[in-house]
Structure 1
Amino acid sequence: MLFLRVLASVACVLGLVVPGAAVAAPAQTAGSSASPAGSSAPSADEDAATGVVVIGASGLTLSDIGPERTPNLWSLVEDGASANLAVRTLTPATCAAAGWLSFGAGARMHSVDLTPDWFSPLLAHTSCPRMVDPVPASAAEAPEAEDPDAAEPSVDSDVSDDPEVPAGTPVAAGPATFEDFERVLAANAGSGYGADPGVFTRAAEDADWCTVAYGRGAAYAAADEEGRVETWAPTTSLVTDPTGTSADEEDEQILDSCALTLIDAGTAADPTWEPNAWHAWNDESLGRTRTGQIAALDARVGRVLEQTPDTSDVVVAGLGDADYPSRLRAVIAAGPSYEPGTLRSSSTRQPGLVQLTDVLPAAIGEVGLESEGTSPADFLVDPSDDAASRMDDLVADSRKAGTVHTHAQTFSVLLDVIHYVLTIALAILLLVPVVRTLRTKTPRTLTALRRYGAWVCFTIGLLPMASFVAGILPWGRVPAPGWGLTGAIALGTVALLALSVAGPWRRTWQGRVAAASLVSAVVLVVDVALGSRLQFNALMGYNPIVAGRFYGLGNQGAALFLAAALLGLGIVSARLLDAGRAVTARLLVAGFAVVSVFVLGNPAWGAKFGGTVAAIVGFTVLLLALFRIRVSILRLVLIGAGALVIIVGVAGLDYLRPPADRSHFGNFFGQALDGQLIEVITRKLEANLNIIVINPALAIVVPLSVFTVLFSLGYLKRYRTTAGLARPWANTLPPALAHPTVHAGFLSAAIALGVGLVITDSGVAVPATGAMMLVPMLVVMSVGIDREGVGRQGVDREGLGRGDVDREGVDCESPSATTVGGVSR
């Protein structure tokens, strides 16, 4: 008990020093007058919302909405808050049924075909599962209908006299049950996401509030674990008027019978679209068909709005995809709880972005309804009165997400191929026969290869970081966003090149590498502290369509940071040590380490579990080298264990915060306490294996990088037991790692990337991504002509002859005789 009190006290102090709410400082909590989302009592404020109506429309995007195309939806945009909606579930593209199930459970779910065995739609084995109506309780004993649609109850404008049905609901509404709903539970039993279809039903029973569902999708969301829906009616009871008296307001049905009303307004295309047939199901091919769907959808929304009381919140959400590939969809929230602006959820921490699983718990939380046991999300609003401007920003963000989602794999393969070519070319160019021929017959060719090859390798090493720097430019607004992204990456590369030659460090290749590396590391750390906007929608960052991470430092960003920071610090520390400034070198590394680990490991900023452990290990190894303390296997294990203990402690502190404020750290700690640790670890291992299967080219980068470093850069010849393996490249291997401190920087980076491989999810990508920057920079340091070194050592500018001293002062003829700064080692 005393330990928990101390832990809680430390958490409170951290909350004051580094408040998690700082990420959302500009925003205001939606419906500040409403009770928090964990309270079952409605707010006493007269202006607070008394209920919420959620209208689901699978496939709806913000680009579909406009003042003329969709006047009803546009009125909601003007009066409320809007955002892009990430609809990722357990498949790359989300069918309507999966979207509704995930929406209702507050967790990602699979969808299955619940149609009767005798009913088999065309291409049922590949298309989205056809949603069916639940069987009303009154029809449970009726003869089985030949058509699933025949189970729809009749529509009546009168209200029900059944005491179990909330007052004010139509006579068509009542209890209903899905047949074979256990198939849904079986399909999601091993997903690892803890999906619980009955969570809202139990919450409603415990807190004494009710839910009414209209339409098939709404029934999927409102069903409990047995497939039972307490109050259900077809959507036709809302969007059509069989009595022909809708002009009379007294005959209008008002949606105020329950605190929560779920309505399936249809989809933006055929609900049984083919997820894998991109040529048949996309915005371009659907053309006028989709335009008509959107117009009809807007008309249905307008009809629902006419029946919604002014005291209720209205949330319109595109709960799923309606074409391939998956894209961000639309979410709009209006009513007493929301002011005009840009919406975000506490789980994404990104302005203008909400997760599918956050919509329902956050929406009911704004009206003071109980939502425990579901996604602990809150809605927040960045106020803005200019609807057109914020819509343009959101559409641009959606286009960026789609472009990155489309081209991320291509960019990764491009870097892989470049890495392969670099490795093969370097191995060939350093072979003894090749070098001997170049030196004797074409010395100028050798000089040109060294000079221009160094610049090419340097540019290659900057490409990964340039993909992050590209986020500074608004390339999503150009007519062709793919070309805009290409141009932004090119400009980012040029900017990094300019920085590397803009100061006194430009005179040597080690100085240029150190400048580019440290600038990259600083930019990544600052970006994470400011909200991770460069990580967001980056080719090597994270994409909201994939919805794996929304804030903090991603795996590939962490890999680049580790490689850049540790290599750059190693080079700078070597220069400081040679100048007799050992204390300055140690303070520099220690200070950089403290700030970086604090930002990366802070749940309010970096929230990076494995990356922070890897960073602690890497910085500690480099500091031990600066203090001339030998790094043994035992010490390395102790360092890793200590780093793990620190991060677990931070996760425990994060867990003590309110659920809506927790980061990945706190959620992981909670899963461990709930006995889900094995499931989480299994899911992470599966993610690693999946990367190897779907992107084997990336996995091959790791052994190629080992080959490049060990052989081409002369690492093996440092040790007598492995020197024999480097004989094919005898007298040609450049000593890029000759300086012990530069070597320590490289070694600490390699160890940190290895720790990232073991401890992070999708860890295979960590060393592979780090190698994309680390290996080209090491090659640059090896083959580049150092003008300062040439002038100091008196080496022939036309190239290095056999037995000459290269730019680092190392006798190429004798691997054992090396000098550093003129002092023999």
Structure 2
Amino acid sequence: MLFLRVLASVACVLGLVVPGVAVATPAQAVGSSAPPAAGEAASGVVVIGASGLTLSDIGPERTPHLWSMAEDGASANLAVRTLTPATCAAAGWLSFGAGARMHSVDLTPDWFSPLLAHTSCPRMIDPVPDTAAEAPGADDPDAAEASVESDVSHDPDVPAGTPVAAGPATFEDFDRVLAANAGSGYSADPGVFTRSADSDDWCTAAYGRGAAYAAADEEGRVTTWAPTTSLVTDPTKASAGEDSAQILDACALTLIDAGTAADPTWEPNAWHAWNDESLGRTRTGQIAALDARVGRILEQTPDSSDIIVAGLGDADHPSRLRAVIATGPSYEPGTLRSSSTRQPGLVQLTDVLPAAIGEIGLESAGVSPASFVVDPSDDAASRMNALVADSRKAGTVHTHAQTFSVLLDVIHYALTIALAILLLTPVVRTLRTKTPRTLAALRTYGAWTCFTIGLLPMAGFVAGILPWGRLPAPGWGLTGAIALGTAALLAVSVAGPWRRTWQGRVAAVSLVSAVVLVVDVALGSRLQFNALMGYNPIVAGRFYGLGNQGAALFLTAALLGLGIVSSRLVDAGRAVTARLLVAGFAVVSVIVLGNPAWGAKFGGTVAAIVGFTVLLLSLFRIRVSILRLVLIGAGALTIIVGVAGLDYLRPPAERSHFGNFFGQALDGQLLDVIARKLEANLRIIVINPALAIVVPLAVFTVLFSLAYLQRYTATAGLARPWAHTLPPALAHPTVHAGFLSAAIALGVGLVITDSGVAVPATGAMMLVPMLVVMSVGIDRERSSTMTPEALR
């Protein structure tokens, strides 16, 4: 009965508090840009796409037209991730037009097979005008090849020529695009804007190949299309022979493919052949030509229209953040962000078109709504420097995150092997009898080494406080920031009375780490963003809230730290204080983690509720059984599903992935979502098996090296090779409860989160070194008084 009362109390508090906060969205989460300075809404929007363009390419001398737009409007970095690690121009345009991530395929004729066509980016082609099916040369391979090869990017100085009649056009074999995306798990709808134009009486004009890809419906048909070189005429009037002084005001939405910032058929999997350094002058010339092209388009755009320039895809490998600049009546000078990222200076590729048409009062059914927010700033140079620094940070983290992870894996392997050897009876006997001073030094230096190892994951987050992205060598800047972060955590461990014991030092850094993570998430997740163990905007898996690895570190730090502190309170006869401390920490943490406006962590919140409840039960001296664990898990899952339901009731543009997940479940996509999460776990195991191996190694270290097996008669025989050498780090029942609650929470995270295998692996990178430190530095006299019966 006491167990049921505790569980009911926790569920009642969390069920009342969490939903109440979940519906409250901070001002920085969603919204729209400030009202136009002139007080009038824009009459239309012109989107100019240029794959490969980055903010670092833009400068007052190199790109005067683009720089002028950046001075007068809002700028941001653009995450262009689609369904592959690097986004080709065709995939970028398709995803941009559908408002969802899409694959691209090669639609060139069968007889046209350029060199390395099977590995390079799909070559984009012109759609076939409906009125030109019998045009001269339609059956001539040479003429067709010339059509495939012609593009404005190859001739940047094309003069204004004869008006080109334009109108409907169609892509042949467009069903191949649909087939390629059928099993992607994303419900992309290529025809969504075309149908909106038909039903809502607003039209879309497309210029150039990429624009045609974006405007094509599910049958490959483009309502109004013309080559980019035809921008001297209005495509809606040219066929009727009418003259037009203003050619970009005929449709509310105008899409223009201005070319790419490099070769459009670059090799996505080449690490060195296609990048900024190797392209050199070629890319410099492309950027200059692109700016000139944008300048000519700006001359033909009415002042009443919004203008957006976006780097809709990559132009080299590896992928990087690209540029987006928005100017016009809807945008004041400042830094741009979108409702899906909630990060200043960051916009997602699939948000650009829904947000752009939303600013001029248009809506498109079937596209996930999005909105833009402008953070005002009058100093263009300062905000561009800050955005370029953010982009460099993202690129550096994207490049070195795998290296950092492998480094931690290797250190963990070495630690496990060292413990297995050093704790063998013959080795310990030799050290004790022949080199006692060496043994003492080994214990001291080994403890500090393990302690420092356990701080490295958290130091990766603390490094985000420093502006290392502005340094000339950001890679070395990141290394120095991690070193300083580690030093700061070491300083915390020796800054107070807790420095006298290893348990006190572990508790201090653990609770400080947990508090830092919770506060950061509540303030916008800036430390999670662009962290080596956080999330990266180039990967574009998450943009705000608590990531899987951050959640793992939080669960480990909070539960282990609270277990140690509670053990001291219980020993001092203050058990009630210990219970209130854990309960208060649990409520605040779960509110922050489970709030869709803050942590937005579905699986992590469930794991946190389970872990804190297990620790509370131990403080109430209630034994944790399998049945009770199942009841706790079911209650936690019910609470978080209720929060997701409340989030679903908010307007679509304001929902987090909590509400989106609830909507997918209502639409019958629950099994698809679960399958995608399982696939993500398997992908991690295949791509990074070193990380997956950490989990069984951690189990080995805890079970053997930390004497967990010898606590029970049935398993004591397995620990016989380490007889009389295993340190009783988990001797105190409350410290053991903290460890057990952390282990259970990490196990729940493994099962319920996407990429869940990273949760226990990351938690072990902090948990195991800290337990080793507690084992090496434990008070031997105090431990010897703990009998096996007392430990149970």
Task: Please give the range of the TM-score, normalised by the shorter of the 2 chains.
Answer: over 0.9
Q: Which of 408, 433, 438 is matched with 1:440 structurally? A: 433
Counterpart for residue 112 of structure 2: 119
Q: 1:310 to 1:284 in 2, by over 3 A?
A: same
| Aligned-partner residue type, residue 416 of structure 2 | T
Secondary structure of residue in 2 paired with 1:212: strand
1:810 corresponds to 2:784: yes
CA deviation after TM superposition for structure 1 residue 723, in Å:
0.2
User: Would the aligned equivalents of 1:128 and 1:275 in 2 still touch at CA under 8 Å?
Assistant: yes
Counterpart for residue 477 of structure 1: 470
TM-score (norm 2): 0.93
Counterpart for residue 321 of structure 2: 328
Structure 1: runs of 5 or more not aligned: 1-9, 35-44, 156-168, 242-249, 790-805, 820-824
CA deviation after TM superposition for structure 1 residue 203, in Å:
1.7
Counterpart for residue 156 of structure 2: none
1:502 corresponds to 2:522: no
CA deviation after TM superposition for structure 1 residue 20, in Å:
4.7
Counterpart for residue 608 of structure 2: 615
CA deviation after TM superposition for structure 1 residue 816, in Å:
3.0
Counterpart for residue 88 of structure 1: 81
CA deviation after TM superposition for structure 1 residue 627, in Å:
0.3
Superposition pairs of residues 211-360 of structure 1, within 5 angstroms: 211-238=204-231, 252-360=245-353
User: Would the aligned equivalents of 2:66 and 2:291 in 1 still touch at CA under 8 Å?
Assistant: yes
Q: Which of 127, 139, 144 is matched with 1:148 structurally? A: 144
1:670-703 deviations in whole A, cap 9, x for unaligned?
1111111111111111100000000000000000
Q: Which of 32, 35, 38 is matched with 1:32 structurally? A: 35
| Aligned-partner residue type, residue 656 of structure 2 | S
| Aligned-partner residue type, residue 89 of structure 2 | A
User: Would the aligned equivalents of 1:342 and 1:383 in 2 still touch at CA under 8 Å?
Assistant: yes
| Aligned-partner residue type, residue 469 of structure 2 | G
Q: 1:781 to 1:808 in 2, by over 3 A?
A: farther
| Aligned-partner residue type, residue 437 of structure 2 | R
1:27-50 deviations in whole A, cap 9, x for unaligned?
97215369xxxxxxxxxx961100
CA deviation after TM superposition for structure 1 residue 739, in Å:
0.4
User: Would the aligned equivalents of 1:132 and 1:148 in 2 still touch at CA under 8 Å?
Assistant: no
CA deviation after TM superposition for structure 1 residue 19, in Å:
5.9
1:783 corresponds to 2:776: yes
1:677 corresponds to 2:682: no
Superposition pairs of residues 518-529 of structure 1, within 5 angstroms: 518-529=511-522
Greater mean deviation of Cα atoms: 250-259 or 456-465: 250-259
| Aligned-partner residue type, residue 148 of structure 1 | A
Secondary structure of residue in 1 paired with 2:784: coil
CA deviation after TM superposition for structure 1 residue 239, in Å:
7.2
1:760-783 deviations in whole A, cap 9, x for unaligned?
000000000000000000000001
Q: Which of 8, 11, 26 is matched with 1:22 structurally? A: 26
Q: 1:756 to 1:170 in 2, by over 3 A?
A: farther
- Quote the Cα distance in structure 2 between the aligned partners of 1:152 and 1:262: 20
Secondary structure of residue in 2 paired with 1:24: coil
1:71 corresponds to 2:67: no
1:569-607 deviations in whole A, cap 9, x for unaligned?
000000000000000000000000000000000000000
Counterpart for residue 178 of structure 1: 171
Counterpart for residue 205 of structure 1: 198
Q: 1:173 to 1:21 in 2, by over 3 A?
A: farther
Counterpart for residue 566 of structure 1: 559
Superposition pairs of residues 645-664 of structure 1, within 5 angstroms: 645-664=638-657
1:754 corresponds to 2:728: no
Counterpart for residue 387 of structure 1: 380
CA deviation after TM superposition for structure 1 residue 145, in Å:
3.8
User: Would the aligned equivalents of 1:197 and 1:225 in 2 still touch at CA under 8 Å?
Assistant: yes
| Aligned-partner residue type, residue 784 of structure 2 | V
Equivalenced residue count is 758
Secondary structure of residue in 1 paired with 2:352: helix
1:28-73 deviations in whole A, cap 9, x for unaligned?
7215369xxxxxxxxxx96110000000000000000000000000
Q: Which of 395, 399, 404 is matched with 1:402 structurally? A: 395
Counterpart for residue 10 of structure 2: none
- Quote the Cα distance in structure 2 between the aligned partners of 1:343 and 1:631: 50
1:640-669 deviations in whole A, cap 9, x for unaligned?
011001000000000000011000100100
User: Would the aligned equivalents of 2:81 and 2:349 in 1 still touch at CA under 8 Å?
Assistant: yes
- Quote the Cα distance in structure 2 between the aligned partners of 1:817 and 1:79: 75
User: Would the aligned equivalents of 1:238 and 1:303 in 2 still touch at CA under 8 Å?
Assistant: no
Give the percent of matched residue pairs that are identical in Structure 1 and Structure 2.
86
- Quote the Cα distance in structure 2 between the aligned partners of 1:667 and 1:17: 18
Counterpart for residue 414 of structure 2: 421
User: Would the aligned equivalents of 2:560 and 2:735 in 1 still touch at CA under 8 Å?
Assistant: yes
Counterpart for residue 593 of structure 1: 586
Secondary structure of residue in 2 paired with 1:809: helix
Greater mean deviation of Cα atoms: 456-465 or 171-180: 171-180
Counterpart for residue 7 of structure 2: none
| Aligned-partner residue type, residue 139 of structure 2 | E
User: Would the aligned equivalents of 1:567 and 1:742 in 2 still touch at CA under 8 Å?
Assistant: yes
1:87-128 deviations in whole A, cap 9, x for unaligned?
000000000000000000000000000000000011000000
Q: Which of 728, 738, 748 is matched with 1:745 structurally? A: 738
Q: Which of 724, 732, 749 is matched with 1:731 structurally? A: 724
Counterpart for residue 822 of structure 1: none
| Aligned-partner residue type, residue 666 of structure 1 | G
Q: Which of 549, 556, 579 is matched with 2:549 structurally? A: 556
- Quote the Cα distance in structure 1 between the aligned partners of 2:575 and 2:330: 59
Q: 1:239 to 1:401 in 2, by over 3 A?
A: farther
CA deviation after TM superposition for structure 1 residue 276, in Å:
1.4
Q: 1:46 to 1:815 in 2, by over 3 A?
A: closer
| Aligned-partner residue type, residue 482 of structure 1 | G
Secondary structure of residue in 1 paired with 2:374: strand
User: Would the aligned equivalents of 2:694 and 2:764 in 1 still touch at CA under 8 Å?
Assistant: yes
Q: 1:294 to 1:587 in 2, by over 3 A?
A: same
- Quote the Cα distance in structure 1 between the aligned partners of 2:582 and 2:720: 36
Superposition pairs of residues 130-169 of structure 1, within 5 angstroms: 130-142=123-135, 143-146=138-141, 147-148=143-144
- Quote the Cα distance in structure 2 between the aligned partners of 1:650 and 1:676: 19
- Quote the Cα distance in structure 2 between the aligned partners of 1:431 and 1:170: 86
| Aligned-partner residue type, residue 562 of structure 2 | L
Q: 1:671 to 1:493 in 2, by over 3 A?
A: same
1:354-409 deviations in whole A, cap 9, x for unaligned?
00000000000000011232122100000000000000000000000000000000
User: Would the aligned equivalents of 1:31 and 1:48 in 2 still touch at CA under 8 Å?
Assistant: no
User: Would the aligned equivalents of 1:23 and 1:349 in 2 still touch at CA under 8 Å?
Assistant: no
- RMSD of Structure 2 on Structure 1 (CA): 2.2
User: Would the aligned equivalents of 1:536 and 1:543 in 2 still touch at CA under 8 Å?
Assistant: yes
User: Would the aligned equivalents of 2:208 and 2:225 in 1 still touch at CA under 8 Å?
Assistant: yes
Counterpart for residue 5 of structure 1: none
Q: 1:327 to 1:639 in 2, by over 3 A?
A: same
1:275-322 deviations in whole A, cap 9, x for unaligned?
112221100111111000000000000000000000000000000000
User: Would the aligned equivalents of 2:36 and 2:329 in 1 still touch at CA under 8 Å?
Assistant: no
Counterpart for residue 584 of structure 1: 577
TM-score (norm 1): 0.89
CA deviation after TM superposition for structure 1 residue 489, in Å:
0.3
User: Would the aligned equivalents of 1:153 and 1:172 in 2 still touch at CA under 8 Å?
Assistant: no
- Quote the Cα distance in structure 2 between the aligned partners of 1:352 and 1:20: 23
CA deviation after TM superposition for structure 1 residue 201, in Å:
1.3
Counterpart for residue 491 of structure 1: 484
Counterpart for residue 121 of structure 2: 128
1:222-259 deviations in whole A, cap 9, x for unaligned?
00000000000000112799xxxxxxxx9754300100
Runs of 4+ in structure 1 deviating by more than 6 angstroms, as ranges, are 10-16, 152-155
